[in-house]
Amino acid sequence: MLNFQQKFLKKYRKGDEKMLYPALITSLIVGLGIIDELTLQWQTTRAIWTGPIVGLLLGDFETGLLIGATIELMFLSNVIVGAAGIPDVTISSGIAVALAIVSDIPTDMAIALAVPVAIFGQFMSTIRFSVLGVPLAHLADKPASEGNIKAVLRTPKFGLFIISLLYIIPTFIAVYFGADLVASLVDKMPVELINAFGVGSRLLAAIGFAMLLSMLKSRKLTPFLIFGYVLAAYFKLNIIGTVLIALVIASLYIVFNKKEVENYD
């Protein structure tokens, strides 16, 4: 493995012209996925979409589908709660597929590489939510006070551009310079920085849950909330099992309270 890494780094330390097209394509797909996540939400940000699309455009749809589906399964239960950041499957699947196809990296190694890349993508999401979000939103304050509607409408477009660069630039660098650069950057990140992002991510998760709980105004739903917490905290039931039980309870609730549900609708 060490000899493989040394040869790879020596070959791609300064980049390679043949890596330019894959880097541009992968960056474009990742960027469009992030924009879709913030706008239309057609779910093209998921690995099951990003992987095959990158693979198709790079000439190996099968590898893209295999890696994309595997990464999707790895992070299937990860969902954004409020402003909480999660490992980013878009950037990880795009980079993993591109490196596997163009750099002849073994598929299992590319999938393993997706984990630290996804965590790096989580750092980008934390920056997006905690650092860039509010200042970008306040850019519209002045034109709004002046009644400049065109300038106000330009603000979200500018915000989308800036936020997408958080993912496009690292994706381009990772694919263009190769897997060793990605691995070395992750390994060289200061422990203090990683811990700081971890603390920030957990705080954002708490804020996200608080925002959701503030919307839970019906006291009738409180027992279900407590029941779900007990299943997860004390019975150690994973999210799939909890969701299945929730579906059963919801179905029974609808059956036995049909009139109430119809009146609510």
Mean pLDDT by 10 residues, the chain (265 residues): 45 58 92 89 89 93 90 72 68 90 77 76 76 80 86 86 89 80 64 64 59 67 85 86 89 78 55
Task: Give the pLDDT score at 30.
Answer: 94
* Residue partners of 125: CB distance under 8 A and separation at least 6: 85, 86, 88
Task: Give the pLDDT score at 125.
Answer: 76
DSSP string, 57-91: HTT-HHHHHHHHHHHHHHTTT----TT-----HHH
Q: Domain limits of the chain?
A: 2-212, 217-264
Task: Give the pLDDT score at 5.
Answer: 42
Burial class (CB in 10 A: 0-12, 13-18, 19+), 35: middle
DSSP string, 9-35: HHHHTT--GGGHHHHHHHHHHHHHHHH
Task: Give the pLDDT score at 113.
Answer: 75
* Residue partners of 9: CB distance under 8 A and separation at least 6: 178, 180, 181
pTM for the model stands at 0.63
- Tokens 């939510």 locate to 129
Name the residue among 56, 132, 128, 125 with its Cα closest to residue 94: 56
